[in-house]
Amino acid sequence: MKVDLLIQDVQVYNSFFKKFIKGNVAVLDGRFLYIGERDTESFEANEVLAGRGRYMIPGLVDIHLHIESTMVTPETFSYGLIQNGVTTIVPEPHEMANVFGIEGIKEMIHASRDCVVDMKYAIPSSVPATSMETTGGSVEIADMDELLRSEEIICLGEIMNYVDIIKDPACKTNQILEHIRKEYPKLVIEGHVPKLLDLDLHRVIYAGVDSDHTHQTLEGMEARIAAGMFLEIQEKSMTEEVMNYLINEDVSEHFCFITDDVMTDSLYNRGHLNHIVKKAIQMGMTPERAIYAGTFTPARRMQMTDRGAIAPGKIADFMLVSDLHELTIEQVYKNGKKAFDASEDYSQTVKPKQFPAHFYQSIQLSPLTEADFQVAADAPDNRYPCRVMLVQNGSTFTEDHRGIVEVRDGQLCWEESPYGLIAVIERYGKNGNRGYGLISGDTIKRGAVATSYSHDNHNLLVVGHNPHDMMIAANEVIRNQGGFYVVCDGKVIASLHLPVGGILTEEPLEKTAKEVEQLRRAMESLGYNHYNPIMSISTHSLPVSPALKLTDLGLIDVNAGKVVPLLLM
């Protein structure tokens, strides 16, 4: 029988038995035709690949991620993915949607069409994430209908505003859920439900949200599985307690591994979903079960029955691995054709200006002065209890801490306090809103950091310890139409230019990874003590991530779902 590709002598991963079986594999027209012990002389192959006893594993499938978190274009992202064995992803472009609305989603999909890696998009469901922030765009029910008609959409992306689901039956989020369940009953609905338990959790599931990818505890994970939720385990949930539960309990069908947010330097230096699978193996999970959670269960969750397994009729996405415990990838094939070989040069070609011209002119702000970082306080001269955003290493959650700050002559004397200042300034030219707060904990202790990459609204976020450095950092972001800038003693000590919507770069992966490394080191040199300082600071304006955050409308009590005052009088 004529076939396109014949792979001889491999240990083939069988997803249905969760074990490796020695054999040969034939590929025809981009799909697996035969897997078994039949003599290779039965086939006339255009290409024969010597397996040499290596492990043959399905291409990895990551069903929950945001390309914008890596701050590169889909094409550059695909370049980084394929060499790490990731052949299918489900990106949700809610960052670009927050900047440009439905146009941002369509342009991300358009930029993905010629990528090697299959990108099956999720519709951002929560743009804006709440009503307590200003964004450049929004995604309404009519926009979702248009996308479902015109684009290849695989699911409704994470429902983020879980507070409104519970507290406000008439809210936009509940209207979206009701519409999707009625008009598209087979569409998968993804969730974001940190810390919810008992009745609140069940009410969210009842509304149609049946998965969760947020930071898991043992108690929360058990409660979710018991209620029929599907769990998507990202690296920050891989504690010893959580992993022991996943290893020892019969829950293989109820979870998969995902990345969610991967920084550029991590993608370049450590890998992607393969890093998560490898870490699970190193934490005691058998390779067979770890691979299952990186291939089969994510594909089934998204109803992609044509992949996630090496079986007749499935898409021929696979990798050849020499060391199973280290997950050493030697070759990756996509649709039966070689896409990566570790022994060959694999260089990146970059396409400039992949987006419309106005995507490069998205920050509508005039230069700021030091006076923009003086905070007016409508209170008599005195010392007042106040809210302080407390940053904690190990999580992007922040605490609502209590402190003391002085008010003098109608001004908040924050420079004389033990705290830094955090400011969020509306950047889209819509209303000129500004929010201010105090910040402490595992954040910078001097200098300033400013960025337009601030989840999810992507307004101008500035954190600092003196107005001069804060002004310089903020104006660099404005002048360059987006990016990250770290300033100390009046000098820029690290920067990352993000000209596409203020959140993406079109530079190559290697160059961007080095700049991100320098940015991380610069923030650490100012005292930032966090496993991921870039992700930490960029989520200070995310009003669906507990517990105290800041938007252009002011401080947000996330659990209460409302704007709260800085001073407690």
Domain identity same for 334 and 186:
yes
**Lowest-pLDDT choice from 170-174, 303-307, 335-339:** 170-174
Total domain count, the chain: 2
**Which residue range(s) make up the domain with 220?**
58-348
Mean pLDDT of the chain: 96
DSSP one-letter string for 224-290? HHHTTPEEEE-GGG--HHHHHHHHHSS-GGGEEE--B---HHHHHHT-SHHHHHHHHHHTT--HHHH
The percent of residues above 70 in pLDDT, for the chain, comes to 100
Indicate the pLDDT class of residue 371, thresholds 50, 70 and 90: very high
Domain identity same for 366 and 336:
no
pLDDT for the residue numbered 394: 85
Of 394, 431, 402, the closest CA to residue 419 belongs to 402
Mean pLDDT of 390-411: 95
pLDDT digits (tens, 9 = 90+) for 421-459: 999 999 999 999 999 999 999 999 999 999 999 999 999
Domain boundary among 290, 322, 348: 348
pLDDT digits (tens, 9 = 90+) for 20-41: 999 999 999 999 999 999 887 8
Report the run of H or E that residue 339 belongs to, with start and end: strand 337-341
Domain identity same for 286 and 381:
no
pLDDT above 90 (res 524): yes
pLDDT for the residue numbered 224: 98
Domain identity same for 226 and 254:
yes
Domain identity same for 386 and 253:
no
Pairing of strands 19-28, 211-212: unpaired
Domain identity same for 268 and 372:
no
pLDDT digits (tens, 9 = 90+) for 43-76: 999 999 999 999 999 999 999 999 999 999 999 9
Domain boundary among 348, 367, 397: 348
Indicate the pLDDT class of residue 322, thresholds 50, 70 and 90: very high
215: tokens are 């930071």
In a domain, 554, yes or no: yes
pLDDT for the residue numbered 39: 81
Indicate the pLDDT class of residue 395, thresholds 50, 70 and 90: confident
267: tokens are 């993608």
pLDDT above 90 (res 195): no
pLDDT digits (tens, 9 = 90+) for 477-488: 999 999 999 999
pLDDT above 90 (res 396): no
Sort 145 into a burial class: Cβ within 10 Å, 0-12 / 13-18 / 19+. Answer: middle
Strongest mean pLDDT among 126-135, 456-465, 538-547 = 456-465
pLDDT for the residue numbered 160: 86
pLDDT for the residue numbered 201: 96
- State the amino acid at position 369 in one-letter form: T
pLDDT for the residue numbered 41: 85
pLDDT digits (tens, 9 = 90+) for 76-135: 999 999 999 999 999 999 999 999 999 999 999 999 999 999 999 999 998 998 899 999
In a domain, 48, yes or no: no
Mean pLDDT of 546-557: 97
Domain boundary among 348, 379, 397: 348
Q: What is the distance in angstroms between the CA of the first residue and the CA of the last residue of the chain?
A: 82
pLDDT for the residue numbered 163: 86
Domain identity same for 464 and 528:
yes
The percent of residues above 90 in pLDDT, for the chain, comes to 93
Domain identity same for 264 and 310:
yes
Domain identity same for 297 and 395:
no
Domain identity same for 197 and 304:
yes
